[in-house]
Amino acid sequence: MPLSPIEIAIALTAIVAGAVVQGSVGFGAGLIAAPVLLIIDQDFVPGPMLAASWSIAVLMGWHEWRAIDWKGAGIALGGRTLGMFPAALALGALSASAFSCIFATLILLAVFLSLVGWTIQPTSRNTFLVGMVSGFTGTFASMGGPPMGLLYQNEPGSRLRATLAVFFVFGGILSLTALSLAGHFGKHQLLLAAILLPGTFVGFFLSRFTAPLLDAKTTRPAVLIVSCLSALVVLGRAIW
């Protein structure tokens, strides 16, 4: 059933807001936009939402490419490659509510541990493992940002945003390919993604004014807040 002009306007507003958050913090478009998009058309998630996040990441990576941690991004992408295909297969076999509860619980636990002083060090092994988790959650639920955000939470804002951007650019291509091969990203989903595209450009432009506000010792709190909210949204979606 075609979307009404009002539904398209609401979807665009949601993705603009999501793009502002992702362009400022480094991730979070799915947190803001996905719940709204699911109400309009469930086919918006994961494929079209993932495609929208990918386009935002392209703009972010182009804007702050000098701050990219290429080594870390490469290692994380290796992990994401291993995590995305099981996620694509799990879309038809795994209970979405069960997975969402597990994912949300782990993110909330990681936020809690960070608040009490324990953080994940971005070693090569940890980066690979977190990349694998991000690949699974990003492909399955369009929320691959929180694991990577928590890994880089103590880095400067520009480094976090740029590194997550290049990770999402290449990882998004892999995840969308996996979804397509699994039959979850076809012509209908591609059309929905095209509807969201203008909103990603507007949101990214607006984030150029908000991102600098997070570079003065506020990146870590922003990451923890967005990660926590992401987990709560996923948990609420699973319960209700």
What are the structural domain ranges in the chain? Answer: 5-239
Query: What is the C-alpha separation between 3 and 104, in angstroms, rounded?
Result: 31
CA angle in degrees (0–180, nearest 5) for 11-134-189: 35
What's the pLDDT tens digit per position in 128-183?
Answer: 999 998 888 877 776 788 889 889 988 888 999 999 999 999 988 988 998 899 89
Q: What is the pLDDT of residue 157?
A: 87
142 Rama sector, left if φ>0, alpha if ψ -120 to 50, beta otherwise: left
What's the pLDDT tens digit per position in 36-65?
Answer: 888 899 899 889 999 999 999 999 999 999
Contact 178, 139 (CB under 8 A): yes
99 — pLDDT class (breaks 50, 70, 90): low
Secondary structure (3-state) at 14: helix
Query: What is the C-alpha separation between 136 and 193, in angstroms, rounded?
Result: 20
DSSP one-letter string for 205-229: HHHHHHGGGGTTT-HHHHHHHHHHH
Strand segments (E) across 86-149 = none
What's the pLDDT tens digit per position in 190-220?
Answer: 999 999 999 999 999 999 998 887 775 677 8
